[in-house]
Amino acid sequence: TSARVKHVRKTMCANGLASVTFLVVLVAGRADLLNVHVVPHTHDDVGWLKTVDQYYYGANNSIQHAGVQYILDGVIQELADDPSRTFIYVEMAFFTRWWNEQTDVTKALVHKLVEDGQLEFINGGWCMNDEASTDYNAIIDQMSEGLRFISNTFGAKHRPRIAWHIDPFGHSAEQASLFAMMGFDGFFFGRIDYDDKNHRLNNSELEMIWRGSESLGQQTEIFTGVLYNGYGPPGGFCFDQRCADQPIMDDRDLFDYNVDERVTAFLKACVDQASHYRTDNIMLTMGSDFQYENANTWYKNLDKLIYHVKMTKSVNIFYSTPSRYLDAVHQANLTWNVKTDDFFPYADCPWCYWTGYFTSRPALKGYVRHLNGYLQTCRQLEAMHGLFADISPVKLGKAVGVAQHHDAVSGTEKQHVANDYATRLHIGQVECDELVGRAVGEMSVKESASTAPLKVATCEYLNISVCPATSDVDSFDIIVYNPVGRHDDSVVVRVPVNSEKVIVMDAMATDVACQILPVSPATLSVRGDRGDAQYDLVFIATVPPLGYNTYFIRRATSQQCTVSTVTQPTTDTIISNSHYKLTVDGRSGRIKEVANQMSGTVVTMDQQFLWYWSSEGHNKNSSQPSGAYIFRPNSSDSYPVNNVSNKASLTVAMGPIVQEVWQNFSSFAYQVVRLYANTNHVELEYTIGPIDVKDKKGKEIISRYTTNLATDKMWYTDANGREMKLRVRDTRATWKLNNTEPVAGNYYPVNSRISIQDVDSNVQLTVLTDRSQGGSSLYDGSVELMVHRRILKDDSRGVGESLNEPGVTGDGLVVRGSLRLYARTSSLSVIPNKVNISYWSTRLRNQLENIACLERSCYCLLPL
């Protein structure tokens, strides 16, 4: 039939082989053989159990035997030996390193292999990025890093056509949208929910058209395929030196001759796979993690397998690549189903939802997000100033690119690897500190017509009120740079000082209103002996678009800044500005009402910190524990962080620029509820850790907002910082969900925001995050975000250690993060529909970038 492809089965005997059922495909009324595309490949994690360097060089093999340089050495030689062979390669962070070590002769050989189509670059990013914990901006950057190398080295015609995400743990609609708009022809991956995959197998729906963006429509459509064997070879046909499968033994004089058995088993595997696909083509992924280190073992056996299978004349088998496979599929000219939702969350068994990694290693997640924003500022200032001879953003760009890897920002790597990622990021940050300081300092000198050299100090620990450049001197200058293309008159500057008597002036020598607050007890506890500032100085800066302003802080002889009034109330406390009025209950110490004074919206609320008890696997249904990848609470119950009432003690600091409520929930849970003058949101700064595990219970800490909104099981989460996706409790859009984990199975990645909406009252509550987290709405009117995890068991998904981060002091990780709370009428908020989503997505993303950039763009300029 010309419009559809029909699969039929036929039994034959060929060349003395045992009877084997294989596939014949009828296309346009004629019989053709099944085309078996053999795709040799390796999957090389840019860090996981070993660091990037260890993986490249083959070091630390006591953990895992893997050496990427040897893989590439061997594969190139094997390809050169036989022009029919092919190989695909993905991770440019490794390939560029290997390339730079090669002789001109080897480079010329590689050029020929690429030109001849034997070596094909697939995906082509700096890494194979995670899809749950990454921001779209960082995805674009890391892809650009790798694709730029390919284009510059081999020419634009060899840029990859296929997106290849065979290992990430779930797949984002925004990722599909980005790949489509980058010009990729197809997108293949290995992991989807086990139940979803069974549904697709039974209905031959493993291939589809994925429309990643509702608002952008058809331009974000991309052909998408789910790989049959994950990303490994058919069972029994792994020929890597570390595999135990039998090689092809084709000498009839040997007792162990096995060609007939091997070919029969292989043809059966091909038939089984083909029965679930709609065309006369199947793709066999012949390889896996760090395979082909001894490429000869693979190719020698594949050559034999291909030869003997061809002799049966049952199928058409040959070396191929994913792009050749896609071309063949397109020739079938079929109509495909269109998918518009995403592939989250991912589960590989009924009690095994991979939703824990949405939050795992929250400090690293925050650092990666923060430095991604800073990288944009660093690049921007380099472009505005001009190149420096000795410093550039390149190191930070590559470090941030590596950190997008699906075992990096995901938090699923070993501890020593996480430390390595952070070290690389810091090295890049230090170089960008130098670049930004020089650029801003030189621009400042030029505009002031001064010839005096300036020393620029960067404050790396402002979040715990540590900055010797401001606290250890009597006077200093601050240059505030605005990387955003619009005027901003509400930039909050907050720096530690050691005196209440200071004065702030702008560039016109005009006094600037300022406020002094004592450093909070929570901050004093976290910072320990790393600083001794007693106060925080706060003022509001005005900054032009893509420009800066200078502020001068001097020690004063009398009180110039307003000193905050600090009390410990026992009745309800109200803090307010022109946008919001927020009420904290005097008895519970928790937020009980948020009122938007612009729209008149009032939301009744109870916000508190709770914890889930991490399952250790002692369960009648499953032995699966919670771990770095998997979130599996011991039950659906959540527990208060202190006692049954979960009461927080209160301290209130009031002033004209900022009003704060300090909540102490427990020995490891603190929060500051903060309203700055004229800001259109409520800021919630939490400090969690070290999580108490003296009771030998792993704990997963959440911040839950319980409101009076009627939400009918629905909520919205963003996709990689852009469009919002509708979530419905206990529901999947394209298949019937049997949810065995009512908590974990309803968790989704939150990159920048989560919201609930009461359609009847036209009220929406939105929470913005400063890093990727897991979030849900488990009850109507509620929102929860997981902010920290400390788990004492490994979840048996490969990392081989529990998620028990030591932190700075060794007794557990402390995380400080910030959330923004908005309560508005829906017409003024983040509306998840086609009409307004792009506008609001861009607007809110810009706000988040502004936060990240400005945190790192406050520079103290000290005359030498």
Answer for the pair 462, 480: CB distance below 8 angstroms, yes or no. Answer: no
SS3 581: strand
Q: What is the largest CA-CA distance in the chain?
A: 103
Q: Using CA atoms, how far apart are residues 362 and 122, in angstroms rounded to an integer? A: 31
The string of DSSP codes covering 125-164 is: SSS-B-SSS--HHHHHHHHHHHHHHHHHHH-GGGS--EEE
CA dist 401 and 425 (Å) reads 10
Quick one: tokens of 175? 């990722």
Residue 832 in tokens: 């998840």
CA distance 756 to 767: 9
- Give CA–CA dist 776/772, Å, rounded: 13
> Measured at the alpha carbon of residue 742, what is the angle toward residues 780 and 170, in degrees to the nearest 5?
105
Residue with tokens 């889930």: 612
Tell me the backbone φ, ψ of residue 702, rounded to 5 degrees. -125, 155
Q: Give the whole-angstrom CA distance, residue 734 versus residue 744.
A: 19
- Mapped onto helix, strand or coil, the DSSP state of residue 661 is strand
Residues β-bridged to residue 380:
none
Helix (H) or strand (E) holding 699: strand 699-707
Please measure the distance between the N-terminal and C-terminal CA atoms of the chain and give it in whole angstroms.
83
Q: What is the DSSP string of 665-685?
A: EETTEEEEEEEETT-SSEEEE
Q: How far apart are CA 65 and CA 797, in angstroms?
A: 17
Instruction: Give, to the nearest 10 degrees, the angle between helix 68-81 and helix 104-115.
Output: 60
3-state SS of 300-357 is: HHHHHHHHHHHHHCCEEEEECCHHHHHHHHHCCCCCCCEECCCECCCECCCCCECCCC
Task: Give the distance from CA 854 to its chain's centroid.
Answer: 22
207-211/338-339 β-pairing: parallel
Q: Measuring CA to CA, how many Å separate 610 from each of 215, 366, 787?
A: 37, 21, 10
**Conformation bin of residue 183: beta by default, left when phi > 0, alpha when psi is -120 to 50:** left
Three-state SS at 39: strand
Active site residues: 167
Joined tokens for residue 74: 């061997």
Note every long-range contact of 596-600, with CB atoms under 8 Å and residues 24 or more positions apart, other chains counting. Answer: 596/823, 596/824, 596/825, 598/680, 599/824, 599/825, 599/828
Dist CA 41 CA 88 (whole Å): 5
Task: Please tell me the distance from the alpha carbon of residue 798 to that of residue 632, in angstroms, as a whole number.
Answer: 17
602-613 and 639-640 strand pairing: antiparallel
Look at the block and give the residue holding tokens 């406050």: 858
C-alpha of 862 from chain center: 38
Q: How far is CA 387 from CA 75, 393, 436, 630, in A?
A: 39, 10, 12, 45
Per the CB < 8 A criterion, the answer to whether 372 and 138 are in contact is yes
φ and ψ at residue 848, rounded to 5 degrees: -65, -40
Query: Do the Cβ atoms of 858 and 459 come closer than 8 Å?
Result: yes
SS3 246: coil
